[in-house]
């Protein structure tokens, strides 16, 4: 192989230049290595208990979605409960509920944005 010839050369390879023969040999070697890698991946993916990366990624995405949605819902509920409490205490119905509901919504959105990593968390500095 060091002389630029291919062990699998056929009768048509004699008309080709040495560069074309070398390129054909490299392409054949690349094809062989790729097929070995594909076979190795198939064997690794078919083994039970291997924990497919797709399933783990899907579970991780679902966990993150549940976390973000629960943070938003918690902010809204806390705001609504505080607003209702202030309305009962100060007899200002429904203004306290509306104001604190909106504040809770804003706090929930801010928590979601921070948890998602879109905005920096300045409280940890």
Task: Give tens-digit pLDDT for 40-69.
Answer: 877 755 555 555 568 888 888 899 999 999
**91 phi-psi bin (left φ>0, alpha ψ -120 to 50, beta other):** left
Contacts of 102 (CB under 8 A, 6+ apart): 79
Task: Give tens-digit pLDDT for 53-110.
Answer: 688 888 888 999 999 999 999 999 999 999 999 999 999 889 999 999 999 999 999 9
Residue 18 CA, distance from chain mean position: 47
């Amino acid at each position: 192989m060091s002389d630029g010839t291919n062990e699998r050369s056929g009768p048509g390879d004699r008309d080709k230049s040495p560069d074309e023969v070398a390129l054909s040999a490299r392409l054949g070697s690349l094809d062989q290595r790729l097929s070995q890698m594909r076979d190795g991946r198939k064997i690794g993916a078919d083994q039970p208990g291997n924990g497919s990366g797709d399933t783990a990624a899907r579970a991780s995405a679902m966990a993150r979605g549940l976390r973000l949605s629960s943070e938003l819902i918690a902010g809204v509920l806390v705001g609504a409960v505080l607003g209702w409490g202030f309305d009962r205490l100060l007899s200002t119905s429904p203004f306290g509920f509306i104001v604190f509901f909106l504040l809770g919504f804003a706090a929930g959105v801010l928590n979601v944005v921070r948890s998602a990593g879109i905005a920096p968390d300045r409280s940890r500095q």
